[in-house]
Amino acid sequence: MAASLGFPRFGDKQNSPQFEDYLGQLLEERDRIGLTEAIRQIDALMITVEPSHSVAYVAELCVMTPYHYLVTLESESHFTHILRIDMSAPDLLVREVKDPNVRGIFRSLNEVYPIGAVKPNSRYMGEVLRVTDPHAVVDMQKARDIRFFNQDQIRKLELPGNMAVVKPSPYTHNIVAYWERPESDVRVYALGWSSIRDDMQAAYEGAKATQKKLGIDELLLPIDHLATRIYSQNREAAILEYLTLSSYYYWGSYDIADQNSSTNVTKSVHFANELESPAKVFTAANHPYFMNHLLTESPTEAFVRNFGPRLHHIAVAVKDGETEAQANIDYVVASLRDCGQKFLLDVIGSKEAGLKQIFSSASEYSSLIVEYVQRFGGFQGFFTKDNVAELTHAAGVEESLRALQKEAQA
């Protein structure tokens, strides 16, 4: 039986006694009833974009990541473009609504936030988790008061019909879906008519030609982690909720005091290698926005107030080693910059510290940032506090500028 409480704890952030108590109770129960064993890895990530933005976004992803365009699934009101590396890493499902006026629950999660409303159909939706017995998992989760979309709602939302989908979290606004897939089976999504679109294939081939020309195609690895930003008061609840929905464990939290923020990490019980099932990170302010005039303003809280609780960045791992006498991450970033890709800062960290990282500018199409991370010599830590502080600050500067631009346009 899995032992979710048997992992070492890291970090210096102090949690409430209630959090620590509930953490133990939740994970012990999850192990005991068999949920931990039944819920396996993240099999897919779901992202939505505005109408006509998917070709450009897929091309962007295929230059900046190791993903490949596989196929397009067309339903009545959506295109869903499937991107894949291999069966050891999660797929990306890029979902595009055909009619910009179509309304629904996922759009409404954007529209109440000033910058989120600018692109109401663009957001990260959530993860698909592979399970060994979906009916048992759904029954156990319903007994824990987890709420699911019914099959009629799934049809109306045009989500894959072979999944059980949890309703959006009140803390992260993300969904989690469960589906059954034997480990040896290829992922197949029950969603519409299948085709390889000429425009998408041409964009994909052009992107991969660029990637190869830059010499970065062999240096990019799968996703290392997914980072969600949430309101300060929801930090502990969001972590506990995700541990309830998944088979992840609590790795620990670090306080980034000079950014009035904390970074909180959960990892898979079953997969020690994040490239097989990415870590889930939750970033939250230490204090709510109305304390800003008394304390240090938090870029994390400002982001959530402008965009809503949502995924902030996808971190792509970079192969350890050097290319042309540079660390691979420096070579990747310099090559992409020469192509016109913008970044929020220079590469930070060092080989001596064991880790280098950088944030790209946010995508025009999804609002998501791509982070690159290179670990040196088998470095086991997740990040350094100095790196996180610099990344948080840089992202906050860009997001403040975007907010000012929005106000100027209003």
Whether residue 239 is predicted with pLDDT greater than 90 in this model: the reply is yes
Whether residue 148 is predicted with pLDDT greater than 70 in this model: the reply is yes
State in words which class domain 213-409 has: alpha beta
Whether residue 404 is predicted with pLDDT greater than 50 in this model: the reply is no
Q: What's the confidence (pLDDT) of residue 381?
A: 73
* Maximum Cα interatomic distance, the chain, rounded to a whole number of Å: 57
Equal fold, 37-211 vs 213-409: yes
Q: What's the confidence (pLDDT) of residue 390?
A: 82
Alpha helices, H only, 181-257: 198-214, 235-245
Where does the pLDDT of residue 305 fall: very low under 50, low under 70, confident under 90, or very high at 90 and above?
very high
Q: What's the confidence (pLDDT) of residue 165?
A: 98
**Triad 121, 125, 127: Cα angle to 5°:** 160
Q: What is the DSSP string of 123-179?
A: EEEEEEEEES-HHHHHHHHHHTT--B--HHHHHHHT--TT-EEBPPPTTT--EEEEE
Residue written as token pair 């995508």: 363
Q: What's the confidence (pLDDT) of residue 403?
A: 52
Q: What is the pLDDT of residues 324-366, one digit of tens each?
A: 999 999 999 999 999 999 999 999 999 998 999 999 999 999 9
The beta strand positions in 257-364, using DSSP E, are 261-268, 279-285, 310-318, 322-323, 326-327, 348-350, 355-359
Whether residue 185 is predicted with pLDDT greater than 90 in this model: the reply is yes
Give the closest residue to 347 by CA, choosing from 378, 376, 373: 373
Where does the pLDDT of residue 173 fall: very low under 50, low under 70, confident under 90, or very high at 90 and above?
very high
The answer to whether the CB of 248 falls within 8 A of the CB of 31 is no
- What is the reported pTM? 0.94
Distance CA 234, CA 130 (A): 27
Q: Look up the CATH number of domain 37-211.
A: 3.10.180.10
Stretch 78-86: mean pLDDT = 97
Distance CA 167, CA 174 (A): 8
Domain residue spans in the chain?
37-211, 213-409
Q: What's the confidence (pLDDT) of residue 59?
A: 98
77 three-state secondary structure: coil
CA 400 to the chain's CA centroid? 22
Give the closest residue to 228 by CA, choosing from 146, 315, 296: 315
Least confident segment among 52-66, 70-84, 259-273, 380-394: 380-394
Q: What's the confidence (pLDDT) of residue 410?
A: 52
Within 10 angstroms of residue 198's Cβ, the number of other Cβ atoms is 8
Dihedral angle over CA of 316, 9, 300, 235, nearest 10:
120
Sign of CA dihedral 23, 272, 128, 261: positive
Where does the pLDDT of residue 384 fall: very low under 50, low under 70, confident under 90, or very high at 90 and above?
confident
